[in-house]
Amino acid sequence: MLKIENLTKTYNYKKSNAFTALKDVSLEVEDGEMLAIIGKSGAGKSTLLHIIGCIDKFEKGSYIIDGTDVHSLSDNKLAKIRNEKVGIVMQDFALIDEYSVIENVMIPLNFSKKKLGKPKELAMKALERVGLANLAKKPVSKLSGGQKQRVAIARAIVNDPSFILADEPTGALDTKTSSEIMELFTELNKSGKTVIIITHDLTVADKCKRKVEISDGRII
């Protein structure tokens, strides 16, 4: 379970050009939920995702993941949480084009201290879940956009994280491929994964079980 209470995030804190991106935000996400966080560009969606994913820190409030308050954790402990509890899928895929499909999926395992099994076997299982096991050795640079996003999802789930964060995961895809990717997220959610999707696309949001809207840094 994720629990955020009265959280405020200010960029350039205490400087003349300070900008408050999140203001007194509170949010709870239950285990097994499929949640859409919606809002216009600049509303604070990506900032909230960076906080939830332990990528960014904040000044005020609290954020608790599975009973652990992350606010005062060291960078090393935050990195451990990111690696073990969070799977992140980005709009631009964030893959290494020079690597093969399976090499990209194995990247989180290289930093993991969890003993989950043999890296190649785990990567292949993740690729099977997204329907790309037959392309394991193919260079990522040779894939379509939809295939790249499936690789990104496989990489996000290979460490068996507690929850999956997706930042505009269909933003670079056509309508048909977007629908296929959302079906994949739905399947992962049905298998027990908590899924949080950041989107401005209401068609995408409507496929989630719950929607939360953010505007000018506040949940409305």
The rounded percent of the chain whose pLDDT value lies above 70 is: 98
DSSP letter, residue 168: S
Q: What is the pLDDT of residues 161-214, one digit of tens each?
A: 989 999 999 988 999 999 999 999 999 999 999 999 999 899 999 999 999 999
Name which CATH class applies to 2-219.
alpha beta
**Range 146-157 average pLDDT:** 95
Closest CA to 167 of 44, 28, 74, 4: 44
Mean pLDDT of the chain: 92
Taking the alpha carbons at both ends of the chain, their separation in whole angstroms is 21
Q: What dihedral do alpha carbons 20, 46, 165, 208 form, nearest 10°? A: 100
pLDDT band per the 50, 70, 90 thresholds, residue 115: low
Between 3 and 15, the more confident residue is: 3
Q: Tabulate helix, strand, coil % of the chain (nearest 5).
A: 35, 25, 35
